[in-house]
Amino acid sequence: MGRLFFILVLLAVSLYGVKLLRAKLDEPSRKSRKLDRDTSTTASNNQKIVKCLHCGLHIPEKEAIKKGDKNFCSIEHASRHLS
């Protein structure tokens, strides 16, 4: 009975050690993934968002079609609204 308990404890400690080792080896790739995610989030957060005057869709200002001071999501919506 004592031998079975010892084997189970040894197995649990071994599995925990493997888990720690895998986490340690995966740490550099996790940091690079986090850096990539932070960079893409920062880049997208710096854009101004505007609303299409025709349909109300919100789009980045760089992608908007501008007619005077009005913003549209497509040329079709700009021509429909202005005609």
| Residue-wise pLDDT tens digits, 6-18 | 999 999 999 999 9
Specify whether 53 is located in the same domain as 33. Answer: no
Which residues of the chain are modeled with pLDDT < 50? 41-43
For position 36, what pLDDT does the model report? 59
Tokens of 79: 């021509």
What is the number of domains present in the chain? Answer: 2
Same domain? 74 vs 38 = no
What's the predicted TM-score (pTM) here? Answer: 0.45
Strands (E), the chain: 49-51, 58-60, 65-67, 70-72
Residues 39 and 68 in one domain: no
- The confidence score (pLDDT) of residue 30 equals 63
**Do 5 and 34 have their domain in common?**
yes
pLDDT score recorded for residue 16: 94
The pLDDT score that the predictor gives to residue 74 is 92
Distance, C-alpha 62 to centroid of its chain: 21
Q: Are residues 27 and 64 in the same domain?
A: no
Domain span at residue 83 reads 48-83
pLDDT of residue 38: 53
55, 76: one domain: yes
